[in-house]
């Protein structure tokens, strides 16, 4: 049973999904900043045959990226007579051409959003695919009788030349609710098509539902223990919506007094802090280390304080099983996508390896985002991928340090001293100054006062130049700046004035 905790702020809304009291997913959205799912009328700016893609202006700071596969008509993709590899982007779109497109991937880093001409409109129970004729059913619906029932409902009510995917939430739902969902989406698409014909590109045609409405649509259901929200107006809106679609669930919706910090009350702030740390402790005493880079994410498993009680193989297996469960949860929570490499503790028994991989696969079934386990490499590393659809959790809280430029490191103590020495040597050779003031970041004050005061005096004596250090907050941690140099009397007076400010 899941709990949904919604924190409404002035500029930012946050939604926490809890399972058995643990934070498993966190969604953060600033007002009108979400692009995923939005539909635009765009204009092709550049066609790049070498990349089989095009740049499309949809009215944002960065042009959107359209791959040839996302630009080809759905009818071509369904045809068995056409080889996709033989189609060039130049044959599909032309510079200046106007297209109706949908954002399928948020902009990440320096990359603009990825778009597609294949529009999809998700509802509570179905997803409408206006340009594809096929019918699909969620793989999570495994009961064959139920699958047959749902398929029959859709085939009898599906609009001609349109496709429908039945979502997991459609299982067990009455026929009239599914039909209403289809009718709503068809009317929505017709409205989008009408508007796209009367506006000039670039133009936003349809904005996807806001975070709260999407969460209610995609997550709230019979398997939800409760939904708690701290905004009176949104609370009333949700009640009205649920009263129309799922009135029996109204008792699961609660209002939380907005005067109190809802995330702090439910202990979510503490769980968020843990989700941003590099090291994650396991209940047994073992731990995993998660290192995120632009190219891939590596996860290392360690026994830590866990010593087991039977033998080494048993200890390793138990640690790896616990780690597999935690890794699946952390991937969802941190929204880590792309290539993922997991270094489990070495296991000699092939059956133990299979068991751990199966455990990971089972836990990943809870993830709404597509994941693929590729298997073990020759080095004993597990390779897997997870689809990138939105930014990582860490990017919502942190940005690259302007001093270390994202490296996570700053210049070492010894290197600071070396830089001072090199500057003094240069000043000795090229000037007749006998005193200098350096500007240095204030974080180095304690280190220099406690460790390098004698070293500074040695440099002064060697080159015959008096050194004054002015500590300030604003200077780059990697830099040493010369504020002034000249005769000792003038520099000493200037330094005293700086200290008194």
Query: The tokens of 252 are what?
Result: 């699961």
- 201 and 90 within one domain: yes
* pLDDT in the model for residue 275: 87
Report how far residue 253's alpha carbon sits from residue 372's, in angstroms, rounded to the nearest whole number. 35
Residue 248: inside a domain: yes
Question: Where residue 238 sits, what CATH number does that domain have?
Answer: 3.30.420.40
- 73 and 192 within one domain: yes
Range of the domain at 195: 39-206
Which of 269, 293, 316 is the last residue before a domain boundary? Answer: 269
Which of 218, 239, 269 is the last residue before a domain boundary? Answer: 269
Residue 407: inside a domain: no
- 160 and 94 within one domain: yes
Residue 250: inside a domain: yes
296, burial (CB in 10 Å: exposed 0-12, middle 13-18, buried 19+): middle
444 near 470, Cβ under 8 Å? Answer: no
* pLDDT in the model for residue 88: 85
Residue 232: inside a domain: yes
Residue 403: inside a domain: no
Query: The tokens of 120 are what?
Result: 């999809």
Query: The tokens of 73 are what?
Result: 């008509």
The number of distinct structural domains making up the chain is 4
Residue 322: inside a domain: yes
- 347 and 298 within one domain: yes
- For residue 294, what are the contacts with CB-CB under 8 A and spacing of at least 6? 109
Task: 254-259: list long-range contacts, CB under 8 Å, 24+ apart.
Answer: 254/226, 254/227, 254/228, 254/229, 255/228, 255/229, 255/230, 256/228, 256/229, 256/230, 257/230, 258/8, 258/230, 258/231, 258/232
- 197 and 300 within one domain: no
* pLDDT in the model for residue 76: 59
- For residue 220, what are the contacts with CB-CB under 8 A and spacing of at least 6? 4, 227, 242, 246, 249, 252
Query: The tokens of 402 are what?
Result: 């302007």
Residue 158: inside a domain: yes
- 6 and 57 within one domain: no
What order do you get walking across the sheet with 163-166 strand by strand? Answer: 121-122, 126-129, 163-166, 135-137
- What angle (nearest 5°) sits at the alpha carbon of residue 33, between those of residues 32 and 37? 90
- 180 and 253 within one domain: no
Question: Where residue 457 sits, what CATH number does that domain have?
Answer: 3.40.1260.20
- For residue 299, what are the contacts with CB-CB under 8 A and spacing of at least 6? 288, 289, 290, 291, 327, 330, 340, 341, 342, 343
- Reading the chain (501 residues) residue by residue, the pLDDT tens digits are 799 999 998 888 999 999 989 999 999 888 667 899 999 999 999 999 888 899 999 999 899 999 988 988 765 555 555 566 678 888 888 999 999 999 998 887 778 899 999 999 999 899 999 988 888 999 888 899 999 999 999 988 888 889 999 998 898 888 988 999 999 999 999 999 999 999 999 999 999 988 999 999 888 988 899 999 999 999 999 998 888 778 889 999 999 988 888 999 999 999 998 888 999 999 888 899 999 887 899 999 998 876 666 678 888 899 999 999 999 999 999 999 999 999 999 988 889 999 999 999 999 988 888 899 998 988 889 999 998 877 788 888 877 776 666 667 777 777 888 888 989 999 999 999 999 999 998 888 888 888 888 999 999 999 999 999 999 888 877 778 898 888 998 988 998 888 776
23 near 268, Cβ under 8 Å? Answer: yes
Secondary structure (DSSP) of 210-267: PHHHHHHHHT-STTEEEEEES-HHHHHHHHHHHHHH-GGGGGGEEE--TTS-HHHHTT
Which of 365, 397, 429 is the last residue before a domain boundary? Answer: 397
What is the DSSP secondary structure assignment for residue 378, as one 8-state letter?
T
25, burial (CB in 10 Å: exposed 0-12, middle 13-18, buried 19+): buried
* pLDDT in the model for residue 232: 93
- 283 and 384 within one domain: yes
- 155 and 222 within one domain: no
What is the DSSP secondary structure assignment for residue 300, as one 8-state letter?
E
* pLDDT in the model for residue 169: 87
- 188 and 43 within one domain: yes
Residue 405: inside a domain: no
- 219 and 179 within one domain: no
240, burial (CB in 10 Å: exposed 0-12, middle 13-18, buried 19+): exposed
Question: Where residue 202 sits, what CATH number does that domain have?
Answer: 2.40.50.140
Nearest residue to 294 via CA among 341, 339, 327: 339
- 55 and 19 within one domain: no
Query: The tokens of 308 are what?
Result: 């087991």
């Amino acid at each position: 049973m899941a709990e949904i905790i919604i924190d409404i702020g002035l500029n930012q809304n946050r939604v926490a999904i809890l399972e058995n009291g643990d934070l498993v997913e966190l969604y953060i959205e600033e007002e009108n900043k979400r692009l995923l799912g939005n539909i635009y009328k765009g204009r092709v700016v550049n066609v790049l045959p070498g990349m089989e893609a095009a740049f499309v202006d949809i009215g944002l700071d960065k042009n959107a990226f359209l791959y040839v596969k996302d630009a080809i008509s759905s009818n071509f993709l369904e045809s068995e007579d056409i080889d996709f590899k033989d189609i060039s982007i130049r044959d599909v779109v032309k510079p200046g051409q106007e297209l109706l497109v949908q954002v399928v991937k948020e902009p990440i880093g320096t990359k603009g959003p990825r778009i597609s001409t294949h529009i999809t409109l998700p509802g509570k129970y179905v997803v409408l695919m206006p340009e594809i004729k096929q019918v699909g059913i969620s793989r999570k619906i495994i009961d064959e009788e139920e699958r047959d029932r749902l398929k029959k409902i859709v085939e009898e009510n599906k609009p001609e030349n349109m496709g429908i995917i039945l979502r997991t939430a459609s299982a067990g739902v009455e026929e009239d609710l599914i039909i209403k969902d289809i009718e709503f989406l068809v009317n929505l698409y017709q409205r989008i098509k009408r508007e796209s014909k009367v506006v000039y590109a670039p133009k936003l045609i349809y904005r996807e539902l806001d975070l709260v409405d999407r969460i209610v649509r995609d997550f709230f259901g019979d398997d939800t223990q409760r939904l708690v929200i701290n905004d009176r107006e949104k609370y009333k809106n949700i009640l009205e919506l649920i009263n129309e679609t799922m009135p029996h669930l109204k008792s699961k919706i609660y209002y939380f007094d907005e005067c109190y910090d809802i995330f702090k009350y439910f202990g979510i702030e503490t769980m968020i802090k843990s989700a941003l740390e590099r090291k994650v402790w396991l209940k047994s005493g073992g731990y995993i280390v998660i290192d995120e880079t632009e190219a891939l994410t590596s996860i290392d498993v360690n026994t830590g304080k866990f010593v087991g009680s039977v033998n080494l193989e048993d200890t390793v297996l138990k640690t790896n099983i616990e780690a597999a469960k935690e890794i699946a949860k952390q991937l969802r929570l941190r929204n880590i996508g792309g290539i993922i490499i997991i270094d489990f503790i070495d296991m000699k028994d092939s059956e133990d390896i299979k068991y751990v991989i199966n455990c990971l696969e089972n836990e990943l079934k809870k993830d709404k985002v597509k994941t693929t386990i590729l298997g073990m490499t020759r080095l004993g590393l597990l390779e897997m991928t997870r689809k990138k659809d939105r930014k990582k959790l860490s990017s919502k809280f942190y940005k690259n340090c302007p001093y270390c430029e994202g490296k996570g490191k700053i210049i070492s103590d010894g290197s600071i001293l070396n830089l001072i020495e090199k500057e003094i040597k240069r000043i000795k050779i090229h000037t007749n100054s006998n005193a200098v003031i350096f500007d240095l970041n204030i974080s180095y004050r304690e280190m220099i006062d406690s460790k390098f005061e004698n070293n500074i005096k040695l440099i002064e004596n060697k080159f015959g130049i008096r050194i004054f250090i002015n500590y300030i907050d604003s200077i780059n941690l990697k830099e040493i700046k010369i504020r002034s140099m000249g005769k000792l009397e003038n520099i000493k007076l200037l330094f005293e004035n700086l200290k008194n400010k």
